[in-house]
């Protein structure tokens, strides 16, 4: 851990790290400055965020890019009506020596993207939200701590409500931010097209770890 001579020096270093992080993310994500800012603040504050926006706005790409730049393990969970709590937390399996062994679920990552969280039943939602609060999961009476740091970024489609399970207010309170992801403006769309048609790949540098 780096030592600073004063609080001012520490704040300056944090501001520089934040700017470096934004610059690296900007190599992949065009625009969405307020969304990027809110997500970074959420991560630095050790909180979780809910991203609200229609499909196709690069929410998954944003989260995976942030994880890459921060050198953190990233996993994506697609929430569906048939998803069970054990599918995300993990379960005990009988190994070849006839001993039960805990098989970790996709929640065991530093940054977890819970895609379309409102499409899974309340029981599975509750398992995720409990993990967010406790930063651990309990399977067969045994507590399993989640990796440190642990952040959940969940997504929700505000338009399609058929076949969904809206999050109750008490569960929405588990999220530090409710971030609205809107369509890019004309200039940003032009830049997206230019990058999509270019063969040049952006190489990301690890900013923090």
The predicted-structure confidence for 100-131, as pLDDT tens digits, reads as follows: 888 899 999 999 999 999 888 889 998 898 89
Q: Does residue 110 contact residue 118 with C-beta atoms inside 8 Å?
A: no
Structure tokens, 137: 């999961």
Structure tokens, 122: 């309340």
Q: Is 206 within a domain?
A: no
Q: Residue 91's domain spans which residues?
A: 7-197
Q: Is 104 within a domain?
A: yes
**Count of domains observed in the chain:** 1
What's the predicted TM-score (pTM) here?
0.81
Residue 122 in 3-state DSSP?
Answer: helix
Q: Is 188 within a domain?
A: yes
Give the CATH number for residue 185: 3.40.50.300
Determine the pLDDT at residue 200: 63
Entry field: residues in the chain:
209
Q: Does residue 103 contact residue 62 with C-beta atoms inside 8 Å?
A: no
Whole-Å CA distances, 173 to 128, 133, 185: 13, 11, 31
């Amino acid at each position: 851990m780096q030592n600073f001579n004063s609080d001012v020096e520490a704040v300056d270093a944090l501001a520089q790290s934040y700017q470096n992080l934004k610059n690296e993310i900007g190599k992949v994500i065009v625009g969405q400055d307020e969304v990027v800012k809110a997500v970074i603040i959420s991560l630095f504050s050790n909180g979780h965020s809910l991203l609200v926006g229609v499909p196709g706005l690069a929410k998954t790409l944003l989260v995976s890019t942030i994880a890459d730049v921060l050198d953190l393990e990233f996993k994506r969970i697609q929430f569906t009506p048939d998803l069970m709590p054990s599918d995300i937390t993990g379960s005990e399996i009988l190994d070849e020596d006839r001993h039960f062994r805990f098989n970790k679920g996709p929640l065991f990552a530093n940054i977890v993207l819970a895609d379309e969280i409102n499409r899974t039943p309340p029981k599975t939602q509750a398992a995720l939200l409990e993990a967010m609060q406790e930063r651990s999961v309990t399977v067969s009476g045994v507590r399993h701590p989640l990796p440190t740091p642990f952040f959940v970024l969940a997504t929700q489609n505000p338009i399609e409500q058929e076949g969904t399970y809206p999050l109750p207010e008490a569960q929405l309170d588990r999220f530090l931010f409710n971030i609205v992801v809107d369509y890019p403006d004309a200039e940003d769309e032009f830049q997206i097209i230019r990058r999509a048609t270019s063969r040049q790949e952006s190489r990301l540098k690890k900013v923090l770890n």
